[in-house]
Amino acid sequence: MNNTRKIVVLNNLKSQRIEQAIFILRDEKDYSEADAVIEAERIVDSYLENIRRPLLEKNTKKDNKNKLLLFWGSAALMVTALLFFIIR
């Protein structure tokens, strides 16, 4: 019984949350080590992108809401000032 497994360990990831990624390779013989590393890097990049995307979307929605509030607040202030000068 052979319990030896090939693994790929990725260090120095561009993540504040993930220190290291470890991949256990299948026993297939039709890929090179370089191919395995490239595939592992692609999987990590995809995973990190999926973590970042909701955070970016959340910040964009919040920014849009703040811009809309600023716009309507400015419009209300301008209408109030205009009415003040007309009534005066």
Residue 84 scores a pLDDT above 70: no
Mean per-residue pLDDT over the chain, rounded: 77
If we measure between CA atoms, which residue out of 77, 78, 74 comes closest to residue 66? 74
The pLDDT value recorded for residue 45 is 81
> What is the C-alpha to C-alpha distance for residues 58 and 52, in angstroms, rounded to an integer?
10
pTM for the predicted model, two decimal places? 0.48
> What is the C-alpha to C-alpha distance for residues 39 and 54, in angstroms, rounded to an integer?
24
Q: Over pLDDT 90: what percentage of the chain?
A: 0
Residue 53 scores a pLDDT above 80: no
Runs of H (alpha helix) within the chain:
33-87
Summarize pLDDT for 13-42 with one digit per residue, the tens. 777 877 888 888 888 777 788 888 888 888
